[in-house]
Amino acid sequence: MIEERLALFWEEMCRYQKLGLPAKAKNHCLGIMIGLYRFERDGKNELKDWAPDAAQEYIDRTFSKWKKSQPKREDIAEVQAIITSGFAQWEK
């Protein structure tokens, strides 16, 4: 169920990548991950109870999908820094 919803956002992110819009793709990736983080942290939903680790898994998948487009090293480092500082409980 969660993956179905995310698929639309992932498709949009990939579309930006294919159109040669790396900044938009990066920002879209960050938006997806921030939304998932907020859902995990603040969400009041049955889905959260059914899949307690889903947000982390989908954040990882979103980051991996974005990296497949081979973004610049600086962009990868920036997104990793945001994950590390903003998503401290999931630091990798």
How many CB atoms lie under 10 A from the CB of residue 71?
19
Residue 72 contacts by C-beta under 8 Å, 6 or more apart in sequence?
Answer: 22
91 in a structural domain: no
Q: Is-contact 36 52, C-beta < 8 A?
A: no
Q: Domains in the chain: how many in total?
A: 1
Q: Residue 78 corresponds to which tokens in the numbers above?
A: 């920036």
11 falls within a domain:
yes
Looking at residue 30, its pLDDT comes to 95
For residue 92, is it within any domain? Answer: no
Buried b (16+ CB within 10 A) or exposed e, 38-56: ebbeeeeeeeeeeeeebbb
End-to-end CA, the chain: 26
Instruction: Give the residues of the chain that fall short of pLDDT 70.
Output: 43-52, 88-92
Query: Nearest 5°: phi and psi at 43?
Result: -65, 140
Report the pLDDT value the prediction gives residue 14, as an integer from 0 to 100.
94
pLDDT of 15: 96
Residue 80 falls inside a structural domain: yes
Domain that holds residue 14: 2-44+52-86
Q: Give the pLDDT confidence score for residue 91 in this predicted structure.
A: 46
The whole-model pTM stands at: 0.82
What pLDDT sits at residue 92?
Answer: 43
